[in-house]
Structures are given as structure tokens and as C-alpha cells.
Amino acid sequence: MSETSSLAHLSVSADGELTRRTHTEQPHAYRSPFARDNARVLHARAFRRLAGKTQVFTQAPGSKPGDHFRSRLTHTLEVAQIARTLATSLGLNVDLTETLALVHDIGHPPFGHAGEKALDHTLKPFGLSFDHNLHALRIVTWFEERYPAFRGLNLTLGVREGIIKHSRNYAPDDHPELAEYFLDLRPPLEAQLIDLADEIAYLTADIEDGIDSGIIEIDAVHAGVPLFRGFHSEAQSRFPNATPRVLAGEATRRMLNALVTDLLTHVRHRIQAEGILTLEAIRHAPNRLATFSPAMEAERMTAKRFLYANLYNSSDMEAIHAEAAKVIEELFAWFITNPDLLPEDHRAQVPAEGLARTVTDYIAGMTDSFIEQTWARLAL
């Protein structure tokens, strides 16, 4: 199988079972069901709120100004770009892949992973937990209200399955409510690729933003991330007059390209080596087939460990994380004791969902600035 051979025979069909919607709709005259889902996600309120949500940080710690760090929205668009390249090159369903990329972070609360951790921690005493994939499903099946005929976006089964399963598996016994999503089967390649497109996007972008913010030094990345070092050294000798920032950017750009190329090559290799001929075979394979080569996987892990040690868990970020946890925990406790102050549409959910879940739904939907304002207004 050559580096450009098509896997179109493994692609999700634009008129098959995965195009089924909960509420039946007439087919569109000239747009595929997945192209329609793409538009529905893009036009959703929760999608627009990604602009106001932290990816890693929206402002550098300390006083260094910066207005070009990734938000969850621009991160999402970068994942969509990478996912589109992957799907196009492999001959898979591009509309479905891109939709899954656009929707992949829609369930994230404010304040990035610190916010997610804080919400999950706050829910523990209630015997509940917070999971951004499950929350994303709640958004698209219920909270979005745009259509008079139904609640939610009425997305196709293929998109809803991908929302749940792109980044992890859920045990059928633990999640009877997800029975519709073939939990005992692997997702199609279109969904499997999203998690890796996400990894490629944030590994490279976070190195760039980490350097730009001043939290990590170029020399430290050079020393600690071999994949970066190779491309950086090459760029340094080839472009001796380029600025350090441009050279670091060139190195991350080439890293991104190397990760994408490796993934494309390795997916094709595995499909051939494991004799996968149909989408059914992908679904029944013992493991996911979209993976990096072992050598690139080791590079990826080294880069990821570097980012955890030097950026995500750095002392610079600690204060930001602590502040995020404080705002979320205090606001949560405040709404638990004052449920009458929840917006009316959320209050209506309490009998069915319980108060703790309802408060979580409300907080998870907030942007960083909205939660800060709400918290300040309540003078906690």
C-alpha cells in the first residue's frame, strides 16, 4: 500500500446507517447529512462560546501582555485543519471528520483542564463526575435550542457516536444510557483520527504558546524534546539570520508535518498488515487502528511529558489553576445553596437532573469571562 493509497472503502457512507437522526428529517437538496451537521455545530451557541474559553492560558502569567495565545476556539480550528488533511489524504469522509473536530471540545468548561478537574472534584461528594465528552453529548442533544421541531441539534448517529468515543472507550455496563453508540465496537477511522489530530495540534501549539508566553525557554525545548531539536538544529543552520522566534516556529511547524505524515503512513501500514478490508473489520478490531508508529509514539510521549513538567504543571501555572478551582468551587457551592438564582431554563431541569448536575451544566457552559463576572457580582 503506497503512501497515497486511498482507504475510501473504509470510509463512513454519506447515506448509510450512521446518517440516522433521532428525529427524522427530509434529506437536503444538495448537502450531505454530515455537511449539515458541520454547519449545525458551527452555528451553535456553545461553539461560539469556545472563543471565551481557555485552552492552556489566555493570558501569560505575570505582567507580560499577549493577545495571540490559542483559545479553545482557535485550537478547535487547528484540529479541524489537521483532521481535514488526514481525512482527505486517506480518502475518508471529510465532512464527518471535520464535524467531529469542530465539536470535539464543545463540552469543556471554563478555565481549561483546571476547570474540568475542579468541576469533577466538586461533584464527587454528590456521587457524580464530570466528563467533557458526556457533557458535549448533553449540549448537542438537549441544551442547544435552535429548532422549533426538537430540542438539541438532532445530529446524525455518526457524529454523536464520534463525540462520545473519539478519545476514549466507555464500558457498556457503566453507561447503559449510551447503548445506542455501539460501545463494544471500535469507532470508525474518522472518529479515531480526531484524538490524534487533537494531540498533534496541542503538542505543537503549546510549545509555541509556551515559548511566546515566556513560561518555557527555547533552549529548554531544544534540550528536552528530541523531535523539536532535530528540526530546530536544521533550521538554525539553514537560516542563520532568522530570529529565534521564527526558528522555533519553523521547528514546531515541521514537527506538526512529521506527526501528520507518520500517522498517515502508519494507519495505511496497519490497515494492510492486519488485512482490514471493511468498516465492519475496523469496528471489530481488537484495538484502535489509528496510531502513530512506535518510534513516533515515543517522540510524542517525550514531548508530552516535557509539556506537563515545564508548562501545564509549572509553578507559573499553579496560581492560575488555584484561582480557577476557587472560582468554580465557590460558585458551585453558592448555586447549591441558592438554586432560585439559577436561570429559569436551568431551574426547570432540576426535577429531572437533580440540583448538582444542573448547577454543573450551568457552570460548564460559561466562558472564562462570564464565570469571573458572575463570581465577582455575587461578591464571594
Cβ closer to Mg ion: 164 or 342?
164
* Nearest distance in Å: CB 198, Mg ion: 4
Q: How many residues does the chain have?
A: 380
Q: Which amino acid is at 280?
A: E
Cβ closer to Mg ion: 50 or 276?
50
Site string for Mg ion, 169-188 (x = CB under 5 A): --------------------
Residue 367 backbone zone (phi > 0: left; psi -120 to 50: alpha; other: beta): beta
Q: List the Cα angle 33/41/197 in 5-degree steps.
A: 95
* Nearest distance in Å: CB 367, Mg ion: 16
Using the rule CB under 5 A, give the single segment among 25-33, 97-105, 116-124, 186-194 that binds Mg ion: 97-105
* Nearest distance in Å: CB 100, Mg ion: 11
Cβ closer to Mg ion: 33 or 107?
107
Distance from C-alpha of 41 to C-alpha of 37, rounded to nearest angstrom: 6
Cβ closer to Mg ion: 93 or 133?
133
Cβ closer to Mg ion: 95 or 198?
198
Using the rule CB under 5 A, give the single segment among 34-42, 170-178, 194-202, 240-248 that binds Mg ion: 194-202
* Nearest distance in Å: CB 202, Mg ion: 6
Please report whether residue 208 would count as binding Mg ion according to CB under 5 A. Answer: no
Element (H, E) at 308: none
* Nearest distance in Å: CB 181, Mg ion: 20
> Within 105-134, which residues bind Mg ion (CB under 5 A)?
105
Distance from C-alpha of 278 to C-alpha of 298, rounded to nearest angstrom: 29
> Within 256-275, which residues bind Mg ion (CB under 5 A)?
none
Spacing of C-alpha 179 from chain mean position: 23
Cβ of 32: how many Cβ atoms within 10 Å? 19
Side-chain-side CA neighbours of 241 within 13 Å: the count stands at 0
Element (H, E) at 94: helix 94-103
Using the rule CB under 5 A, give the single segment among 7-15, 38-46, 193-201, 281-289 that binds Mg ion: 193-201
Q: Decide: 21 and 82 in contact? Cβ < 8 Å.
A: no
Using the rule CB under 5 A, give the single segment among 14-22, 38-46, 177-185, 198-206 that binds Mg ion: 198-206
Q: List the Cα angle 252/189/83 in 5-degree steps.
A: 35
Q: Decide: 215 and 206 in contact? Cβ < 8 Å.
A: no
Using the rule CB under 5 A, give the single segment among 22-30, 56-64, 104-112, 140-148 that binds Mg ion: 104-112
- The three three-digit cell numbers of residue 174, written as one number: 457503566
* Nearest distance in Å: CB 233, Mg ion: 30
Q: Decide: 86 and 256 in contact? Cβ < 8 Å.
A: no
Distance from C-alpha of 77 to C-alpha of 251, rounded to nearest angstrom: 21
* Nearest distance in Å: CB 194, Mg ion: 9
> Three-state SS for 366?
coil
Residue where the block lists cell 471529510? 94
Cβ closer to Mg ion: 60 or 103?
103
> Three-state SS for 21?
strand
Using the rule CB under 5 A, give the single segment among 11-19, 28-36, 99-107, 315-323 that binds Mg ion: 99-107
* Nearest distance in Å: CB 290, Mg ion: 16
Name which position in 198, 206, 316, 368 contacts Mg ion (CB under 5 A). 198
* Nearest distance in Å: CB 74, Mg ion: 11
Q: Decide: 147 and 87 in contact? Cβ < 8 Å.
A: no
Distance from C-alpha of 199 to C-alpha of 195, rounded to nearest angstrom: 6
Cβ closer to Mg ion: 311 or 331?
311
Cβ closer to Mg ion: 112 or 158?
112
Question: Where do contacts with Mg ion occur on this chain (CB under 5 A)?
Answer: 105, 198
